[in-house]
Amino acid sequence: MSERPPQFGARLAEAIRRHGRLCVGVDPHAALLTQWGLADDVAGLREFGRRVLDAAVGRVGIIKPQVAFFERFGPAGLSVLAELQQAARREGLLVIADAKRGDIGSTMAGYAEAWLDPDAALAADALTVSPYLGFGSLSPAVEAARRHGAGLFVLALTSNPEGREVQLARDAHGTVAAGIAAQAAAENDVVDDGALGDIGLVVGATTAGLAEEAGVDLTAGAMPLLAPGYGAQGATAQDLRRGFGPAHRQVVVNSSRGILAHGPDVASLTAAIDRTVADLGD
């Protein structure tokens, strides 16, 4: 059995300190495989992942594979994903599996063990999860994260416009997003300045500015904040600083299309990563 690593929040804070806050998304959708001159098959999928990993190692501390683009190839695609995640972790990268799992009871526990147990084939350092069966439904995942030294990113203020009809809905206690954020923050026990919790939120780079209006305290619990929406989706580094305000130090910035569009060769991907890291600054 693998020895449990340090808690996710500590490893994430160290990755940000060493490499900056950029997280490279690994999104091998069909059009991009074609653009890279790769076949839309398992062999193309494997080669795509290899090139992204080669470009990322030593330049960033985090990658985020989008599980759906591997899952569409069935068991063989998930095998490629397992290979990629295992290789990335051997190279010292943190892996956030973007699977957005959400269920109840033993089913949620099954998802959590599949993705967070370090001895599992699909082991990742953190997993994106959906709280929209009630935040309490995530309890098995929270428990698994604690047991395995892993992390969770809970969907809260996502960048898709459709999300607002649920996330900004209000009752007598405030918005749905505020309730989710408060419960996630309560799962963290952070006492050291500069430390990060293990349970974080997904907050879009284009929607972070809604946090105050929605009653969401992004600084509570020192939650790590996974921010899609930078670059190709329109948000700039200045937008990130303005939108997240005092929570900016907690932000992990995902960039997928903005970097992957520069493939297929590793040198071009590397240059795109270096430019992005410089743009985001500290």
Q: Which residues lie across from 62 on neighbouring strands?
A: 23, 94
Asked about 64 being catalytic, the answer comes back as no
Question: Is the pLDDT assigned to residue 5 strictly greater than 80?
Answer: no
pLDDT at 193: 72
In this prediction, residues 208-233 reach a mean pLDDT of 92
Give every CB contact of residue 119 below 8 A, 6+ residues apart in sequence: 1, 2
**Residue 3 clears pLDDT 60, i.e. is over it:** no
8-277 is classed CATH 3.30.479.10? no
Give domain limits for the chain: 8-277
- Which of 29, 50, 100, 257 is catalytic? The answer is 100
What CA–CA distance (Å, rounded) separates 65 from 251? Answer: 18
| pLDDT per position as a tens digit, 10-66 | 999 999 999 999 999 999 999 999 999 999 999 999 999 999 999 999 999 999 999
Asked if residue 52 lies in contact with residue 63, where contact means CB atoms within 8 angstroms, the answer is yes
Residues 261, 266: Cα–Cα separation, whole Å = 12
End-to-end CA distance of the chain: 37
Reported as a single tens digit per residue, the pLDDT across 130-181 is 999 999 999 999 999 999 999 999 999 998 889 999 999 998 889 999 999 9
